[in-house]
Structure 1
Amino acid sequence: MPSVNPDVLKWARETAGLDLEGAAKRLGLKDTRSVAGADRLAALENGDGEPSRPLLLKMAKNYRRPLLAFYLSAPPKRAERGEDFRTLPADYARRDEALVDALLREVRARQEMVRSLLEVEDEAKKLPFVGGFDINGGPKALAKEIEGTLSFNLAQFRRGARNDAFAYLRDLAEQVGVFVLLIGNLGSHHSTLDVELFRGVALADPVAPFVVINDQDSEAAWAFTLLHELAHIWIGRTGISGANPSSAIEVFCNDVAGQILMPEGESAREDALRGAPTEQVVARIRQLADAWRVSHSAVNYKLFREGYISREVWAEISGILRRFWLQSRAATRERNKDNENGPDYYVVRRHRLGNRLVTLSGRMLAEGALSPSMAGRILGVKPTNVYALTGASAAGASGRAA
């Protein structure tokens, strides 16, 4: 067996979203009197010695890499992420980039497995709406087309609570063939991806289009993000979107989402907000967000786009709303910290994966077209958990996948 390239060791750790201290802890590299575990790992990554096979096996497991990957002659190129539509914060670090790259690699791999499964089972049908809209047609026309394809009803969307509104919209998107996943980390809170790094991902594949929404964002924002990413799929632009729209594509997709959830004309009675004190604008934004079942940020952006508040006011209120949200999230986490009776694991998993992906995997398991190990890779769980997660019968999966 050839020797291990130390550059590959460093690449594998960084693309797993781990710093030296975190990786050393996972790998069981303990501190000694003479050297810290993180320093021992750093020495290996600098070519000072070579990891033992047991340590390599631990690296393969914790870095989520096949063992053979550590014997590559050089680190592979960065994962294909499509277009990058984000405007990143100034303190965007290499570890952050590695986390995003690991997420995109995982999502792309799962999407490709789903597409291959559909093709093998002769269920691969090209969806005409993927890439079927010319951006020159304008956001209003695309909003109308998406509404028609989904059979979206705004009154029904607003009928329940915000989580009901998102569930309704997600169900419509999945019914027409889009897989909608909620992912905000790589399996632990240590790999959490802030909304500033990514808000959504669209894979505009004509057979198995995927949308990923960062579930670290406010739940009230998920519906807007889903429609934003659906706009990407309709115009055939695969890529990753951030929290701050600045490119023409991002503004266009935001306008599409805004037109669907907050149709032009609904804010026509908001002339009183022109030049109003910030406190008055924020209070009105909260009222409208509650009525429209969207996030405060979405209303703030809509008022800016329709000219009721200036760019300066929009930016100021964006900062205020973000601080409110961070405080609210921190308070919620504090309340839930000692709660031992959290939600059921499988309920949470199904919610994050979406009904379309769980149902497809369960059906293919039951028919023997999908092995537990492959289902586990698609669903992001252990093979032993796939039957309980999908509700498929293990007895019926002894055919082709055995």
Structure 2
Amino acid sequence: MTRAPVKPEMLRWAIERARVSPDDLSARFKKLEEWLQGEGQPTLKQLDAFANAVHVPVGYLFLPEPPEERSPIPDFRTFAGRTLARPSPNLLEMIYACQERQSWYADFARLYQEPELRFVGSATLDTSPEVVAARIRQALGFSIEERCDCATWTDALRLFIRRADDAGILVMVSGIVFSNTNRRLDVEEFRGFALVDRRAPLVFINGTDSKAAQMFTLAHELAHIWLGTSALSNASAQPAGGFRREEVWCNKVAAELLVPLDAVRAELQQNEPLADTLRRLARQFKVSTLVVLRRLLDAGHLTRPQFDAAWQDELDHIREISQGASGGGNFYRTTLSRVSHRFTKALVVSTLEGQTLYRDAFRMLGVKKTETFNNLGREVGVMM
């Protein structure tokens, strides 16, 4: 029986990298403690199973020391003014998957002579956030009135995504890695990222966040598309310090896009309790109460101490009501949300025409059965 000559420190690194406890793995790998102490070594089969369990390429485990893994795109995430630690395997895999999808779609767009999108990279950090917000609203045809008419935040988010898709932007929303429900994406780690390309700009949104919060993330990442900068973000609506200039600018664009300052001022009512104002404006603009708080501060309706106290209260309230939130819903709608309507339609067309292998299409869509693929084709209007 062939044993794998791996160092205990590489096994410990892989466990730490996967952000799991050795105790959680010991039930599956009975001799894990011996491996970690250097008192034994796994077989090749056991090592392969271990690598799958901790989501690490098995070849990494034979290295003399852990590799330095960094985000393949600019990482703008911060916490208390400090850059965050290395990205998790779940996050890295989603970035790599989206890069593959983007590369494929860019080639598809060139083949079918789709024009470059003029708005990509059309702004700079010196461009007024108010001006850029107006340009985004115009390019997407995403009026405030139409959004306010949506019955729910979910409806407003779907409309927002659909308008971005119609404008040529691939918007992908998922709370898990591919279709693996055991690999949830951590909203505390990241909220979204943007991948810039003239023909295939892509925005990924962490679907574990609330629908209202996803609205802000999408607006924030769209600002990155207009700026022409790929980026990994965890910024919220809070006007806090410690973020890079790009993130502060994108936050301002997002806030103005979703809740224009003039519209906020026009809606303020004298002597209305703050809690009532928050709920009313959040329902009206279909954003989170945190975004409304940010705009009330921007409008001078709150002092900074009042804002800071209210912000913490709202965070606590949101955490409380988010406990026990469940997923579910229509399978095909969920799948289209994860990979975008525009991307799915193009991929199905290319596959049916023989330009793309079914194997590659299944991988990029995250499906395993031909029947599922065909049903997705029907959902996007390609197949009857």
Deviation at 1:51, TM superposition (A): 1.8
Distance 1:44 1:349 in 2: 40
* 1:110-189 pair list within 5 angstroms: 110-116=98-104, 118-119=106-107, 122-123=111-112, 126-161=116-151, 162-186=153-177
Distance 2:264 2:102 in 1: 42
Q: Name the structure 2 match of 1:286.
A: 279
Range moving further from structure 2, 43-52 or 156-165:
43-52
Distance 1:104 1:11 in 2: 16
Q: Name the structure 1 match of 2:337.
A: 351
Is 1:372 matched up with 2:353? no
What letter corresponds to residue 167 of structure 2 in structure 1?
A: V
Distance 1:351 1:41, change over 3 A: same
Superposed CA RMSD in Å reads: 3.4
Deviation at 1:117, TM superposition (A): 5.4
Q: Name the structure 1 match of 2:212.
A: 220
Range moving further from structure 2, 357-366 or 209-218:
357-366
Is 1:57 matched up with 2:48? yes
Distance 1:240 1:117 in 2: 20
Paired residue secondary structure (1:136): coil
Paired residue secondary structure (1:240): strand
Q: Name the structure 1 match of 2:20.
A: 18
Paired residue secondary structure (1:348): helix
* 1:58-77 pair list within 5 angstroms: 58-77=49-68
What letter corresponds to residue 70 of structure 2 in structure 1?
A: A
Conserved in 2, the CA contact under 8 Å of 1:375 and 1:386?
no
Deviation at 1:317, TM superposition (A): 1.4
Paired residue secondary structure (2:149): coil
Distance 1:282 1:43, change over 3 A: farther
Conserved in 2, the CA contact under 8 Å of 1:133 and 1:235?
yes
Q: 2:230 aligns with which of 238, 242, 250?
A: 238
Q: 2:94 aligns with which of 93, 106, 109?
A: 106
Q: Name the structure 2 match of 1:9.
A: 11
Conserved in 2, the CA contact under 8 Å of 1:139 and 1:255?
yes
Deviations 1:301-350 (CA, angstroms, capped at 9, x unpaired) = 111122211222222112211222222122545xx8xxxxx534333222
Distance 2:223 2:82 in 1: 29
Q: Name the structure 1 match of 2:307.
A: 314
What letter corresponds to residue 20 of structure 2 in structure 1?
A: L
Is 1:265 matched up with 2:262? yes
Distance 1:374 1:6 in 2: 36
Range moving further from structure 2, 319-328 or 297-306:
319-328
List runs of 5+ in structure 2 lacking aligned partners: none
Q: Name the structure 2 match of 1:256.
A: 253
Range moving further from structure 2, 180-189 or 304-313:
180-189
Is 1:198 matched up with 2:186? no
Distance 1:70 1:345, change over 3 A: farther
TM-score (norm 2): 0.83
Q: Name the structure 1 match of 2:292.
A: 299
Is 1:85 matched up with 2:76? yes
How many residues are paired up? 370
Paired residue secondary structure (1:55): helix
Paired residue secondary structure (1:202): strand
Q: Name the structure 1 match of 2:348.
A: 362
Distance 1:290 1:41, change over 3 A: same
Q: Identity across aligned pairs (percent)?
A: 29
Deviation at 1:67, TM superposition (A): 4.2
What letter corresponds to residue 347 of structure 1 in structure 2?
A: R
What letter corresponds to residue 354 of structure 2 in structure 1?
A: G
Distance 1:65 1:294 in 2: 38
Paired residue secondary structure (2:232): strand
Deviations 1:60-109 (CA, angstroms, capped at 9, x unpaired) = 43344454444445433313343333332699996xx553x531343233
Distance 1:281 1:392, change over 3 A: closer
Range moving further from structure 2, 138-147 or 262-271:
262-271
* 1:23-38 pair list within 5 angstroms: 23-25=25-27, 28-29=28-29, 37=30
Distance 1:46 1:119 in 2: 49
